[in-house]
């Protein structure tokens, strides 16, 4: 006898998915051009409010995560470093063959920082890309 159980809820807990969000434009440095700052302190910091990056083809899932993270800086413009810590938090998604998407969790650091921050990124769904509170948008060379 074969028993199967699923740990994926049939209802998504993601609160900030927006299928009408525009596909982000790229800078000459191959980073996303981010122009807005989030006013929601949960944006990116809470698994129910991830940064919805969306990638058409998940064969290279890290590409758009890097394009997003490389567009950010510390609160005073400091250069940031990031490390992928884990994949977590399954949710239902029509954009994957297995019917579920996952969040990637990144630790963000910069010089002079007391404690690293953690951001949740989602490559499966779309949303408006903004700079999370506590960070700044990296100055891009023209």
Q: HSE (CB half, 13 Å, CA atoms) of 91?
A: 24
pTM of the full structure: 0.87
Total domain count, the chain: 1
Q: Is residue 2 part of a domain?
A: no
Whether residue 125 is contained in a domain is answered as yes
The answer to whether 89 touches 77, Cβ cutoff 8 Å, is: no
Residues of the chain with pLDDT under 50: 1-9, 142
* Per-residue confidence (pLDDT) for residue 10, from 0 to 100: 58
Q: Is 3 a domain residue?
A: no
Q: What is the pLDDT of residue 81?
A: 97
The answer to whether residue 1 is domain-embedded is no
The pLDDT value recorded for residue 3 is 41
Q: Which domain holds residue 123?
A: 15-142
């Amino acid at each position: 006898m074969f028993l199967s159980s699923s740990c994926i809820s049939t209802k998504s807990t993601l609160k900030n998915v927006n299928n009408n969000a525009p596909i982000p434009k790229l800078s000459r440095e191959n980073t996303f051009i981010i122009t807005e700052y989030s006013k929601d302190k949960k944006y990116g910091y809470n698994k129910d409010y991830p940064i919805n990056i969306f990638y058409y083809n998940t064969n290279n899932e890290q590409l758009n995560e890097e394009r997003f993270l490389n567009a950010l800086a510390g609160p005073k413009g400091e250069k940031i470093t990031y490390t992928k810590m884990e994949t977590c938090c399954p949710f239902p998604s029509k954009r994957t063959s297995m019917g579920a998407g996952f969040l990637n969790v990144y630790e963000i650091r910069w010089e002079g920082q007391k404690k690293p921050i953690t951001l949740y990124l989602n490559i499966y769904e779309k949303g408006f890309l903004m700079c999370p509170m506590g960070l700044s948008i990296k100055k891009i060379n023209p």
